[in-house]
Structure 1
Amino acid sequence: MRDITKTFPGVKALTDVNLTVARGEVHAICGENGAGKSTLMKVLSGVYPHGSYDGEIRYDGEVSRFRGIRDSEARGIVIIHQELALSPYLSLAENIFLGNERARGGVIDWNATNREAARLLERVGLHEHPDTKVVDIGVGKQQLVEIAKALSKEVRLLILDEPTAALNDEDSAHLLELLRSLKAQGITSIIISHKLNEIAAIADATTILRDGMTIETLDMHGVEPVTEDRIIKGMVGRDLANRYPERDVAIGDEVLRISGWTVHHPIDRSRKVVDDAELFVRRGEVVGIAGLMGAGRTELAMSVFGRTYGANISGTLVKDGREITIRSVREAIRAGLAYATEDRKRYGLNLIDDIKRNISASALGKVANLGVVDAGREISAAERYRREMNIKTPSVDALVGKLSGGNQQKTVLSKWIFSDPDVLILDEPTRGIDVGAKYEIYQIINGLAAQGKAMIMISSELPELLGICDRIYAMSQGRITGVLPRDEADQESLMRFMTMDRMGVSR
């Protein structure tokens, strides 16, 4: 790709970007949110067709002018987006060949479809029956279905945009091993990822973008080893000596105590997903919750925040020394609670609405007169958060769906800070965003703590919890199995608590 320039109304997303990928290599693309990584790959794959950008694409030595995805796929280029494009209620086989059906005389040959799907699923290491519906498998397995779908199109260049962002460590490791296997079969891969340890493990070369421009391409197997800090320096333009900002905040009185909190599964009501949980948080304190996938962390948070998850919920909430009852999100907000969900695109934001309306949504009364929203006050409030949170956008009238992941996350935080909560629950607040944006989020958390806000932070990244939190609770199988102050906690001790069974024995 030579001198690729792509402009949207009011924004120059790419400026003279260059990218060279060798046959058979795994090539990583790194950069902060908004650096232009996904945009560049959409140009390459024909999502943004020839004529909508300036510059030249050469593929196998020939100039390529893709008018759409079908053109690029015909040449063996397949992109797997961060938001998976699978139909949940169709089978794995139907998804793999959707738009690429195995048919005879215009009629689908289901025997051939299922037989070929089984072969492809075996090839990616997914041992599921082709008739299985996508909705019945986890996100990690869905990623493998997407790759099987790409293989059905005789892929030669596979583009993966944040393929492990929503995966646990085990699924991530399996996916990286699959990429190594595909490389051995001669398939070239381009991977966009914020997980620098994975890039160091898998990539042959890494191209760094910053502010829509190419900064450098690093040889990952050169004489001098490429460290995570070296990649970060290229991404942010400076050394990030400490990935977690210092915080010196006086911790005050207890704000919220959760006692005997038990939540049953909304469908299988005989199963407890949270079992007799006990925790508390004080003013100015950041309390972490660590746990493996399925430990019950998100279920605990959602059930506390207006009973938005679960059935047969029991237990007590005590806020500022007084027992409270919360039966809805409205009541949770009125009680001074806020919850920034782990899935910002599905539950945290209205992607087809603008920034100002997303920010004001949690507390419309603050920008309304006699029940009618005052547009001037709404814009003024949104502009204040745009400046304070450093949301990179030309206007608060911009659609949230057009923002980068880091700026979407800042919008989610702005929305809940606008409601002026006493307790802010942050569920995976830095998932899918780059190290620079993470540092800004950490600074925001510290600023809120300095204001006396109490925060509960759920994260799958143990170094993050150790770097940000004052105390860390560990969960396993729905139970809180231990709590450690930061100066006594390390990854090993937390993992012991996170792998305990209901009898208190590490699994």
Structure 2
Amino acid sequence: MTDNILEMRSITKTFPGVKALSDVSLSVRRGEVHAICGENGAGKSTLMKVLSGVYPFGSYDGEIHFDGQLSKFSNISDSEHAGIAIIHQELALVPFLSIAENLFLGNERKGRGGLIDWNRANGEASRLLARVGLSENPTTPIGQLGVGKQQLVEIAKALSKDVKLLILDEPTAALNDTDSAHLLGLLRQLQAEGMTSIMISHKLNEIEEIADTTTIIRDGRTIETFAMAGEAVSQDRIIRGMVGRDLDSRFPDRTSNPGEEVLRVEHWTVRHPQQDRLVVDDAGFSVRAGEVIGIAGLMGAGRTELAMSVFGRSYGRYQGGQIFKRGEPIQARSVQEAIKHGIAYATEDRKKYGLNLIDDIKRNISAAALDKLASGGFVNAQEEIRVAEDSKKSMNIKAPTVMSLTGKLSGGNQQKVVLSKWIYSDPDVLILDEPTRGIDVGAKFEIYTIINRLVAAGKAVIVISSELPELLGICDRIYTLAFGRITGEVQVSEATQEGLMSLMTRDRTPVRAGAHSASDATGTGTTSTTTTPDDTQEHSA
């Protein structure tokens, strides 16, 4: 008989008006890495909240058997006491506390008299950090660590509680390739030590690499469970199970027909807001009507800093450079000025900067262009509803009504609300920063379709993405960025992942900002390696 550490039997969970889970069953073998796949809103996170006690026993139908025992978890503490730890996509760490303080928050290491024994806490923290491959001092504030290292601290925190089953919800969504590889290597190491893991992920290549078994959930139901070692298992099969149909192509077809130049940025230079270093160094690019350009770069290359500083200087300290709109110089010294000139920016962090999660869909969509709905200082509420309803229909936002709270939507539908907000502002240039991060393949296809629709209407679109296949699939041209400098410009027809990676890691031979105007005019998009004495000065980004 198979040794299952977990069996969830016929789990049904209902919210007012919505059945989130319907007769879902899940069996996880002891010592395996078990992947759970499904579109946003399929019920994956709801199932894990049932398992971890966020939704307590009695609020759902069905049974949970963990480690041979019928379990009735009333809260998270109950599941943690049994040996279950869950790491959510939004990390639950306090940035101003030290690593050690975060590791033992609520589980403090106390000495005599009930006081915290800091020597013991820091010593145990050092051992836990070493176990996950970190050499940081345990007194270091969490806020000084990158996202990848914070993810490892979360795992170390789970290991401090004698965990038997580790659940990771989109653990690599915000990580670069190096940090993702490190985390997957750690999961293999923990598996070799006997740990059982459940991983929810939209990155199918990682599932192929790490998972022993995969369960697919669609529309709140279990579709199938299969061993990943099977000959018939492929990414296409997983996608078919997730979306209920074949995706003949991951990217919708589009005929490229760029028009006149809409936006050109030359010699753009920005300093870090607190530190005396350049984060954008003499960068330049251009984009035309009906064109999608990509910006590729490793984590820390300055992609977001470039985009945000162009969008009304909303990041860093402006040092120099010029923006041209249809050949004429413009000033975009604030977000309001940028929007006035038809520039929009959809942030990579939609939950923190892109949306008001405690407000409804309607308000979020109208937020960037309230002046279009206002008269005499008052917003036309009926027109606001009509605009939101039109967006809900055209963008296929899955929600009961436009009065639904945005925070209750799935990641893919939240992203559609962000896009709806900026589309309603009617920009000429739309900058999309990681537009498909943390959303499933079906929702990604819908986002790509929306981008195609925008460029077909003559909009100019700039896409920043950590996924090179995505840039190669949707862009006309790709700029590469390294250490805050543009290092190359390549037509997609001539681009490869290997070639882009070579340009993304180039340090001392960048393209001179503004030197690509000839290729912009002809569309050849060649890469320049012209250098000047200034180019040899090394800058850290």
Query: TM range, normalised to the smaller chain?
Result: over 0.9
* 2:398 matched residue in structure 1: 392
Quick one: distance in 2 between partners of 1:209 and 1:192? 11
The counterpart of 2:109, out of the listed 102, 106, 109, is 102
* 2:35 matched residue in structure 1: 28
Quick one: distance in 2 between partners of 1:16 and 1:419? 43
Quick one: distance in 2 between partners of 1:462 and 1:46? 38
SS in 2 for 1:119: helix
Alignment of 1:207-226 (within 5 A): 207-222=215-230, 224-226=231-233
Alignment of 1:1-150 (within 5 A): 1-104=8-111, 105-150=113-158
Alignment of 1:258-277 (within 5 A): 258-269=265-276, 271-277=277-283
Q: Aligned-pair distance for 1:249?
A: 4.1
The counterpart of 1:464, out of the listed 436, 457, 470, is 470
1:357-405 per-position Cα deviation (integer Å, ceiling 9, x unaligned): 0100000012222121121111111111111111111011111111111
- Aligned AA (1:5): T
1:471-491 per-position Cα deviation (integer Å, ceiling 9, x unaligned): 111111111111011111111
* 1:154 matched residue in structure 2: 162
- Aligned AA (2:167): I
* 2:333 matched residue in structure 1: 327
Q: Aligned-pair distance for 1:264?
A: 1.0
Alignment of 1:430-441 (within 5 A): 430-441=436-447
Quick one: distance in 2 between partners of 1:421 and 1:503? 34
SS in 2 for 1:7: strand
The counterpart of 2:187, out of the listed 176, 179, 189, is 179
* 2:488 matched residue in structure 1: 482
SS in 2 for 1:361: helix
Q: Aligned-pair distance for 1:313?
A: 3.0
SS in 2 for 1:140: helix
Quick one: distance in 2 between partners of 1:492 and 1:103? 52
Quick one: distance in 2 between partners of 1:397 and 1:5? 26
In the alignment, structure 1 residue 371 sits paired with structure 2 residue 365: no
* 1:412 matched residue in structure 2: 418
Q: Which runs of 5+ in 1 are unaligned?
A: none
* 1:233 matched residue in structure 2: 240
* 1:284 matched residue in structure 2: 290
Q: Say how many residue pairs are matched.
A: 504
1:1-24 per-position Cα deviation (integer Å, ceiling 9, x unaligned): 111111222222111111001111
1:186-233 per-position Cα deviation (integer Å, ceiling 9, x unaligned): 1110000000000011101000011111100011123x2521111111
1:110-152 per-position Cα deviation (integer Å, ceiling 9, x unaligned): 1111111111111111110110110011000001100110011
Q: Aligned-pair distance for 1:414?
A: 0.4
Quick one: distance in 1 between partners of 2:116 and 2:279? 42
- Aligned AA (2:143): V
> Which TM-score applies when normalising by structure 1?
0.98
* Deviating 4+ runs (over 6 angstroms): none
- Aligned AA (1:253): E
In the alignment, structure 1 residue 403 sits paired with structure 2 residue 409: yes
How big is the alpha-carbon RMSD for the aligned residues of Structure 1 and Structure 2? Answer: 1.2
1:38-68 per-position Cα deviation (integer Å, ceiling 9, x unaligned): 1110110001111111111111222111000
SS in 2 for 1:18: strand
- Aligned AA (2:99): L
- Asked whether the 8 Å contact 1:77–1:157 carries over to 2, the reply is yes
- Asked whether the 8 Å contact 2:487–2:509 carries over to 1, the reply is no
In the alignment, structure 1 residue 296 sits paired with structure 2 residue 302: yes
The counterpart of 2:255, out of the listed 236, 248, 253, is 248
- Asked whether the 8 Å contact 1:358–1:411 carries over to 2, the reply is yes
In the alignment, structure 1 residue 449 sits paired with structure 2 residue 455: yes
- Asked whether the 8 Å contact 2:309–2:318 carries over to 1, the reply is no
SS in 1 for 2:123: helix
